[in-house]
Amino acid sequence: MSEPLVQIKNLKKYFTVETDLLGRPTSVLKAVDDVTFDIYNGETFGLVGESGCGKTTIGKMLVNLYRPTSGTIIFNGQDLTALNDTKRREYCRDIQLIFQDPYASLNPRMTIGDIIAEPIRINKLLPSNKVEARVNYLLNCVGLANHHRNRYPHEFSGGQRQRVGIARALAVQPKLIVCDEPVSALDVSIQAQVLNLLSDLKDEFGLTYLFIAHGLNVVKHISDRVGVMYLGKLMEIATKDELYENPLNPYTQALFSAIPTTDVTRKKERIILKGDVPSPIDPGKGCRFFSRCFKAFEGCGETFPELKDVGGGHRVACRLYDGI
Amino acid sequence: MIGLGFDKFLSRFVKHKAAVLCLFFVLAVIAGGIFAPWLAPNDPNKIELKLKLLGPGGQFPLGTDHLGRCILSRLLYGTRISLGSAFLVMSFSLTIGTAVGIFSAYRGGRIDNLLMRLCDIFLSFPSLVLVLVIIGVLGSGMVNVIIGMILVQWLWYVRIIRSLVLSIKERTFVSAAKVAGTSDMKIIFRHILPNVLPQLIVLSTLDLGSLILHFSGYSFLGFGVQPPTPEWGAMIEEGRRFIRSAPELMFYPGMLITLIVISFNLIGDALRDVLDESVT
Measured CB to CB, residues of chain B less than 8 Å from chain A are 1-4, 171-173, 175-183, 186, 190-191, 194-195, 278-280
Angle at B89 between CA B86 and CA B92, to 5 degrees: 140
Does any domain span residue B173? yes
A34 neighbors A12 (Cβ within 8 angstroms): yes
pLDDT at site A179: 93
Nearest to B171 among A92, A96, A104 (CB): A104
Q: Which amino acid is at B240?
A: R
Q: If you average pLDDT over residues B77-106, what whole number do you get?
A: 92
Q: If you average pLDDT over residues A130-136, what whole number do you get?
A: 91
Angle at A184 between CA A181 and CA A185, to 5 degrees: 115
Nearest to B2 among A93, A95, A109 (CB): A109
Residues of A whose CB is below 8 A from B173: 104-107
Q: Which amino acid is at B172?
A: T
CATH of domain A4-94+174-321: 3.40.50.300
Would you call B279 and A108 a contact, using CB atoms and an 8 Å cutoff?
yes
Nearest to B173 among A95, A107, A119 (CB): A107
Q: If you average pLDDT over residues B41-63, what whole number do you get?
A: 80
Compute the distance between CA of residue A234 and CA of residue A57 in angstroms, rounded to an integer: 13
CATH number at residue B209: 1.10.3720.10
**Alpha-carbon torsion angle B144, B149, B150, B153, nearest 10:** 170
Query: Could you tell me which of B189, B211, B218 has the C-alpha nearest to residue B103?
Result: B189
pTM: 0.81
Compute the distance between CA of residue B214 and CA of residue B33 in angstroms, rounded to an integer: 19
Query: Could you tell me which of A83, A101, A96 has the C-alpha nearest to residue A125?
Result: A96
pLDDT beyond 60 at A163: yes
Would you call B176 and A99 a contact, using CB atoms and an 8 Å cutoff?
yes
Query: Which residue of chain A has the CA closest to B195?
Result: A109
Lowest-pLDDT choice from A65-69, A115-119, A302-306, B21-25: A302-306
Number of A–B residue contacts, CB under 8 Å: 79
Please state, rounded to an integer, the average pLDDT across all residues of chain B: 87
pLDDT beyond 80 at B280: no
Would you call A104 and B173 a contact, using CB atoms and an 8 Å cutoff?
yes
pLDDT beyond 70 at A271: yes
Residues of A whose CB is below 8 A from B176: 97, 99, 105-106, 165, 168
pLDDT at site B1: 53
B22 neighbors B267 (Cβ within 8 angstroms): yes
Compute the distance between CA of residue A224 and CA of residue B75 in angstroms, rounded to an integer: 79
A308 neighbors A237 (Cβ within 8 angstroms): no
B68 neighbors B249 (Cβ within 8 angstroms): no
B162 neighbors B196 (Cβ within 8 angstroms): no
Helix (H) or strand (E) holding B39: helix B36-39
**Alpha-carbon torsion angle B2, B3, B8, B11, nearest 10:** -50
A5-40: b (≥16 Cβ within 10 Å) or e: bbbbeebbbbbeeeeeeeeeeeeebbbbbbbbbbbb
Would you call A122 and B1 a contact, using CB atoms and an 8 Å cutoff?
no
Measured CB to CB, residues of chain A less than 8 Å from chain B are 63-65, 89-90, 92-93, 95-97, 99-101, 104-110, 118-119, 122-123, 152, 154, 165, 168, 171-172
Nearest to B179 among A65, A104, A109 (CB): A65
Would you call A171 and B180 a contact, using CB atoms and an 8 Å cutoff?
yes
Compute the distance between CA of residue A89 and CA of residue B181 in angstroms, rounded to an integer: 6
Q: If you average pLDDT over residues A168-173, what whole number do you get?
A: 91
Q: If you average pLDDT over residues A156-177, what whole number do you get?
A: 91
Q: In angstroms, how far is the first alpha carbon of chain A from the final one?
A: 27
Would you call A152 and B176 a contact, using CB atoms and an 8 Å cutoff?
no
Q: Which amino acid is at A322?
A: D
Nearest to B180 among A101, A118, A152 (CB): A118
Residues of A whose CB is below 8 A from B1: 109
Would you call B3 and A106 a contact, using CB atoms and an 8 Å cutoff?
no
Residues near A160 by beta carbon (within 8 Å), at least 6 away in sequence: A144, A148
Would you call B181 and A93 a contact, using CB atoms and an 8 Å cutoff?
yes
B255 neighbors B262 (Cβ within 8 angstroms): no
Query: Could you tell me which of B203, B179, B201, B207 has the C-alpha nearest to residue B191?
Result: B179
Strand order, beta sheet including A95-98: A95-98, A176-180, A208-213, A44-48, A225-230, A233-239, A315-316, A308-309
Query: Which residue of chain A has the CA closest to B186?
Result: A122
A9-67 confidence digits (pLDDT tens): 999 998 888 777 777 777 888 888 889 999 999 899 999 988 888 889 999 999 888 88
A143-179: b (≥16 Cβ within 10 Å) or e: bbeeebbeebbeebebbbbbbbbbbbbbbbebbbbbb
B12 neighbors B274 (Cβ within 8 angstroms): yes
pLDDT at site A136: 93
Domains of chain A by residue range: 4-94+174-321, 105-172
Compute the distance between CA of residue B160 and CA of residue A5 in angstroms, rounded to an integer: 46
Q: What letter does residue B69 receive in the DSSP assignment?
A: -
Q: If you average pLDDT over residues B251-264, what whole number do you get?
A: 91
A59-84 confidence digits (pLDDT tens): 999 988 888 999 999 988 888 888 88
Compute the distance between CA of residue A139 and CA of residue A322 in angstroms, rounded to an integer: 51
Would you call A122 and B182 a contact, using CB atoms and an 8 Å cutoff?
yes
Three-class SS state of B229? coil
Q: What letter does residue A37 receive in the DSSP assignment?
A: E
Q: How many domains does chain B have?
A: 1
Q: What letter does residue A80 receive in the DSSP assignment?
A: G
B210 neighbors B218 (Cβ within 8 angstroms): no
Would you call B176 and A165 a contact, using CB atoms and an 8 Å cutoff?
yes
Nearest to B173 among A89, A105, A154 (CB): A105
Q: Quote the domain boundaries for residue B271.
A: 6-277
Residues of B whose CB is below 8 A from A64: 178-179
Does any domain span residue B149? yes
To the nearest 10 degrees (0 to 180), the angle between helices B193-221 and B248-277 is 170
Alpha-carbon distance A35 to nearest alpha carbon in chain B (angstroms): 23
Q: Residue A256: pLDDT band by 50, 70, 90 thresholds?
A: confident
Distances, alpha carbon A126 to alpha carbons A117, A119, A135, B195, in Å: 10, 10, 11, 28
Nearest to A106 among B173, B179, B186 (CB): B173
Q: Residue A324: pLDDT band by 50, 70, 90 thresholds?
A: low
Compute the distance between CA of residue A45 and CA of residue A246 in angstroms, rounded to an integer: 18
Does any domain span residue B1? no
Would you call A105 and B181 a contact, using CB atoms and an 8 Å cutoff?
no
Neighbours of B277 (CB within 10 A): 14
